[in-house]
């Protein structure tokens, strides 16, 4: 026949006031005995729990989260501004490099050498074709 655990002993068990050997015996017994396990659950519900956090824990935690958010936003803004400055200095540096290396001068010389005046624009081509069509229509009407 199984011996059940008394409520007083379960209170000591919950308060870690028993020897390790007794704790182990009760651990095993609670896994085997449904009646004692039910009593154990009742004891746990009434067992006084010491506060592990202060009264202002929640408020302090929320304040810390808000402070962390604002720091991250400021940090993100600072990083964004530094990226803009890096791109600006990179563009300015490349412009100076190309200017002093003569690359821009070579591009200007190549474009000057090209004969821009010999190309006929699209609008001029359309006008010429329209004029040709109108001339053909005029000749056909005169016949």
Q: Tell me: do 65 and 110 sit in the same domain.
A: yes
Domain, as residue range, for 88 = 60-114
In a domain, 137, yes or no: no
Q: Tell me: do 65 and 107 sit in the same domain.
A: yes
In a domain, 124, yes or no: no
Q: Tell me: do 31 and 66 sit in the same domain.
A: no
Burial of 10 (C-beta count, 10 Å sphere; 0-12/13-18/19+): buried
Domain tally for the chain?
2
In a domain, 42, yes or no: yes
In a domain, 52, yes or no: no
Per-residue pLDDT of the chain (143 residues; tens, 9 = 90+): 578 999 899 888 888 899 999 999 999 999 999 999 999 998 888 877 666 667 787 788 888 877 777 666 666 677 778 888 888 888 888 888 878 887 767 767 766 665 555 667 788 888 888 899 888 888 888 87
In a domain, 120, yes or no: no
Between helix 20-32 and helix 7-14 the angle, nearest 10°, is 120
56, 58, 59, 64 alpha-carbon torsion, rounded to 10°: 120
In a domain, 131, yes or no: no
Q: What is the pLDDT of residue 39?
A: 92
Angle ∠(66,61,52) on CA atoms, nearest 5:
175
């Amino acid at each position: 026949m199984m011996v059940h655990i008394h409520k007083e002993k379960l209170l000591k068990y919950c308060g870690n006031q028993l020897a390790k050997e007794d704790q182990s015996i009760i651990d095993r017994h609670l896994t085997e005995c449904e009646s004692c396990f039910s009593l154990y659950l009742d004891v746990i519900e009434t067992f006084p729990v010491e506060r592990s956090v202060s009264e202002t824990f929640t408020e302090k935690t929320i304040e810390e989260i808000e402070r962390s958010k604002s720091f991250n936003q400021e940090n993100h803004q600072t990083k964004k501004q530094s990226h803009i400055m890096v791109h600006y200095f990179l563009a300015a540096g490349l412009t100076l490099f190309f200017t002093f290396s003569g690359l821009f001068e070579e591009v200007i010389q190549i474009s000057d050498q090209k004969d821009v005046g010999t190309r006929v624009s699209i609008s001029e081509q359309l006008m010429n074709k329209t004029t040709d069509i109108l001339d053909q229509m005029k000749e056909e009407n005169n016949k």
